[in-house]
């Protein structure tokens, strides 16, 4: 690969991300309407799981190669990027409205599972049993989220009748929605991979160190699906898809990505990953919740600017920390 080819990779990858994000959002909205559940639930589950796929793949690859720091660092960096960069950019495009139920349930859960990593990783080691425990908790949360959402949407027989009617009348629409979701997820994964390949080559060409590339380009690269999806959702005014994707992805990263990594192969981590970097991640999560409360359930453009500025400061910190090594 040379620089012109790397630039082409970068451009093609970004276009693929943008178009496939449109497919995913359209399919997710269609699924929500066909199944009779809220768009938030689809964002918290189907969309979040799909956009978290790069983190899962990257972390598994890291632990298999014996570099657990990359697996955990990828989770921290992606969680910070999701809320500060992606959430901030989405709010700058269009102020993001957040449901009261999300503030009461999903956001506290996101912060709780983040705090749960402290006792798990405090000894600088993740065992297979701890990884499995995180996966069990993850499965329970997903089941609980879907159950509560369905119960709130329509109760009892009313729900069954509504969903049954929709499925009977619109099986073709259901198939189209599923196809859009699958195409969107596959395209996002491929677009993220192509974009990262091009960006990493360009980074090396301009003289960036491997450490800086890993902490910035690669970490941001695994968050590109969330970024593309949330921008597309914000432009179309689908706030529940956007918020559900962000919060759901962070829960997925914390429980699913770390859990899978630990289950595949127990590993040790550096002390700094239970120090400064960990508390930055928690601070961003709490700060995101505070901004929502201050905005009365709306993440406005000022809050978006604060979030994006915070991410820039974080990047400066990473470059400065690496340069001092």
pLDDT tens, position by position, 101-118 = 888 888 999 999 999 999
Of 89-98, 115-124, 190-199, which gets the smallest average pLDDT? Answer: 190-199
- What is the C-alpha separation between 222 and 77, in angstroms, rounded? 9
Nearest partner of 6 among 161, 277, 204, judged by Cα: 204
Looking at residue 213, what is its pLDDT?
61
> Given a cut of 90, is residue 293 above it in pLDDT?
yes
User: Scanning the structure block, which residue is given the tokens 């991640």?
Assistant: 281
pTM, two decimals, is: 0.76
At residue 285 the predicted structure's pLDDT band, cuts being 50, 70 and 90, is very high
- Give the mean pLDDT of 208-224: 63
Looking at residue 242, what is its pLDDT?
78
SS percent in the chain: helix, strand, coil, step 5:
85, 0, 15
At residue 231 the predicted structure's pLDDT band, cuts being 50, 70 and 90, is confident
Structure token pair of residue 171: 């099986």
- Give the mean pLDDT of 268-294: 91
- Give the mean pLDDT of 14-21: 70
Report the percent of the chain where pLDDT is more than 70: 73
Domain chopping of the chain, boundaries = 3-323
* Integer CA distances (angstroms), 56 to 9, 33, 109, 173, in order: 23, 29, 20, 30
For the chain, the average pLDDT equals 78
Q: Computed from CA positions of residues 245, 55, 324, 269, in that sequence, does the dihedral angle turn out positive or negative?
A: positive
3-state class (DSSP) for residue 275: coil
- The residue among 31 and 93 whose pLDDT is bigger is 93
> Given a cut of 60, is residue 159 above it in pLDDT?
no
At residue 171 the predicted structure's pLDDT band, cuts being 50, 70 and 90, is low
Looking at residue 250, what is its pLDDT?
92
* Integer CA distances (angstroms), 49 to 76, 114, 157, 181, 263, in order: 17, 17, 29, 12, 18
- The residue among 64 and 99 whose pLDDT is bigger is 99
Region 3-323: CATH code: 1.20.1420.30
């Amino acid at each position: 690969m040379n620089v012109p080819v790397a630039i082409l990779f970068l451009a093609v990858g970004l276009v693929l991300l943008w178009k496939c994000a449109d497919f995913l959002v359209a399919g997710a909205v269609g699924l929500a309407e066909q199944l009779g559940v809220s768009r938030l639930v689809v964002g918290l589950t189907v969309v979040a799981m799909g956009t978290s796929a790069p983190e899962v793949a990257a972390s598994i690859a890291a632990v298999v190669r014996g570099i657990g720091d990359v697996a955990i660092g990828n989770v921290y960096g992606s969680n910070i990027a999701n809320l500060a960069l992606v959430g901030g950019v989405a709010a700058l495009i269009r102020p993001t409205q957040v449901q009261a139920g999300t503030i009461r349930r999903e956001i506290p859960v996101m912060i709780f599972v983040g705090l749960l990593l402290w006792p798990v990783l405090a000894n600088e080691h993740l065992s297979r049993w701890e990884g499995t425990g995180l996966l069990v908790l993850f499965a329970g949360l997903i089941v609980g989220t879907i159950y509560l959402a369905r119960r709130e949407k329509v109760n009892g027989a009313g729900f069954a009748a509504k969903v049954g009617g929709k499925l009977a009348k619109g099986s073709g629409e259901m198939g189209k929605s599923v196809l859009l979701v699958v195409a969107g997820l596959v395209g996002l994964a491929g677009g993220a991979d192509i974009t990262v390949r091009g960006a990493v080559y360009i980074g090396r060409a301009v003289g960036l160190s491997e450490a800086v590339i890993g902490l910035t380009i690669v970490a941001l690269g695994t968050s590109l699906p969330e970024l593309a999806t949330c921008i597309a959702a914000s432009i179309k005014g689908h706030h529940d898809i956007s918020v559900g994707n962000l919060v759901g992805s962070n829960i997925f990263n914390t429980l699913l990505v770390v859990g899978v990594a630990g289950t595949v192969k127990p590993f040790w981590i550096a002390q700094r990953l239970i120090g400064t970097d960990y508390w930055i991640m928690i601070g961003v999560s709490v700060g995101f919740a505070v901004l929502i409360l201050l905005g009365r359930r709306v993440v406005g453009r000022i809050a978006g600017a604060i979030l994006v500025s915070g991410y820039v400061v974080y990047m400066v910190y990473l470059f400065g920390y690496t340069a001092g090594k």
